[in-house]
Amino acid sequence: MNPGEDSHFRNILGVRFFTGPAKEAVQIALAGGLVVVPSAPVLLAMQEDPYTAEALLNSDLAITDSGLMVLLWRLLKRDRVERVSGLEYLKLLLSEPSLREPGAVFWVMPSLATRDKTLAWLASQGFPTTPEDCYIAPVYGAGCVIDPELLARINERRPAHIFMAVGGGVQEKLAYYLKVGACYRPGLHCTGAAIGFLTGDQVRIPTWADHFYLGWLMRCLHAPERFVPRYWKARKLIWLLLKYRERAPEVRK
């Protein structure tokens, strides 16, 4: 560890978050391991779902993408933790030359439509990604998430990096399952719908909006029936942080 490196980490709700520059987060992630970018709803799920808590607490790199969490932490602790944008992290990671090698990247997608948009965008950026480098995830149930078929494909193909483009709250548990079951150490990136901001599958978020923590507002304006209830529920994070702060939440029986 370099001098001062530990100052780039904070324990928040038991999770060791990285708060340094996004470029440094990418360099850490290139070594492999489970990378999580938990939103406020996913952090809230730690209290309801032991499998979500297990995934976050055993991550190798956690990124402070949640603007609400960062702002609340500053107010509660008088500690100016910096936000690391998950979208900026994804852009920087995809700019790494090693990810453009054939077979280096594997995508777990929620649908064929999302896959096709992603493949078209990747091709426009010079990635040699093919449909064989993608997996269409089924609809997983609540609780524990396992997928032996996906795990077998990962162990057979051995991609250096796996992007989990399925929903938050599921992707973390699925990625942790792959981390435990993989016969090697891939990079498992729980970046969710962030790729959709680049491909057009999601509403585009301008750099200035991302910088000022306004991505949530863009999504609410674009699809209020979907995102307003989600972000309204996120207000409960205030009480969770007040109660537990650095400690992992107790899972409700």
Domain boundaries, the chain: 14-244
Residue 218: per-residue pLDDT: 60
**pLDDT tens, position by position, 216-234:** 556 556 567 666 666 657 6
Degrees, nearest 5: CA angle 213-49-115: 60
| pLDDT at residue 253 greater than cutoff 90 | no
**pLDDT tens, position by position, 45-61:** 999 999 999 999 999 99
Residue 21 phi, psi (nearest 5)? -65, 150
The percent of residues above 70 in pLDDT, for the chain, comes to 84
**pLDDT tens, position by position, 57-76:** 999 999 998 888 988 898 88
Residue 151: per-residue pLDDT: 98
Residue 183: per-residue pLDDT: 97
Residue 90: per-residue pLDDT: 94
When pLDDT is averaged across residues 107-120 and rounded to a whole number, the result is 94
Distances, alpha carbon 204 to alpha carbons 154, 180, 228, in Å = 31, 34, 17
Maximum distance among all Cα pairs of the chain, rounded to whole angstroms: 49
Contact between 175 and 190 under an 8 Å Cβ cutoff? The reply is: yes
Cα 80 to Cα 62: distance, rounded to the nearest angstrom: 17
| pLDDT at residue 126 greater than cutoff 50 | yes
Q: Which of 102-106, 187-191, 213-217 has the lowest mean pLDDT?
A: 213-217
The percent of residues above 90 in pLDDT, for the chain, comes to 64
Residue 225: per-residue pLDDT: 66
| pLDDT at residue 250 greater than cutoff 70 | yes
When pLDDT is averaged across residues 192-209 and rounded to a whole number, the result is 71
How high does pLDDT run on average in the chain? 88
Q: How confident is the model at residue 142 (pLDDT cuts 50, 70, 90)?
A: confident
Residue 227: per-residue pLDDT: 63
Cα 177 to Cα 143: distance, rounded to the nearest angstrom: 12
Alpha carbon 8 to its chain's center:
18
Which positions ≥6 away from 97 have C-beta within 8 Å? none
Residue 226: per-residue pLDDT: 65
Q: Which of 17-21, 75-79, 202-206 has the lowest mean pLDDT?
A: 202-206
Q: Which of 82-86, 180-184, 239-243 has the lowest mean pLDDT?
A: 82-86
